[in-house]
């Protein structure tokens, strides 16, 4: 679920700079524990690109990054 407030800015791809993991909030799972990430560690990406997160060495969350995430990923190539 995307969050309109604070550092999330309604973005789909949101990373935890402490854990160095990027999440897909359109496919968020309980295991992502997004609400437990300190806001100072939240990162979003230019044009909401998963590729940008990868380029910054963020690992994919094992719970929420899936094939559907990659459909959007490919739109922006």
Stretch that binds Zn ion, among 12-20, 38-46, 57-65, 67-75 (CB under 5 A): 57-65
Q: Does 32 bind Zn ion (CB under 5 A)?
A: yes
Among 12, 23, 43, 73, binds Zn ion (CB under 5 A): 23
Residue 43: what are its φ and ψ, rounded to 5°? -130, 140
Considering the complex, state which of residue 4 and residue 32 has its C-beta at the smaller distance from Zn ion.
32
* Integer angstrom CA distances of residue 46 from 37, 51, 74: 20, 10, 15
Helices (H), 1-77: 50-55, 67-75
Q: Does 61 bind Zn ion (CB under 5 A)?
A: yes
Q: Which residues bind Zn ion (CB under 5 A)?
A: 23, 32, 61, 63-64
């Amino acid at each position: 679920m995307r969050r309109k407030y604070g550092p999330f800015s309604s973005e789909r791809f949101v990373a935890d700079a402490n854990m160095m993991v990027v999440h897909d909030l359109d496919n968020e799972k309980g295991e992502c524990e997004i609400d437990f990430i300190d806001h100072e560690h939240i990162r979003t990406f230019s044009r909401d690109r998963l590729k940008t997160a990868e380029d910054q060495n963020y690992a994919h969350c094992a719970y929420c990054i899936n094939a559907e995430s990659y459909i959007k990923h490919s739109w922006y190539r």
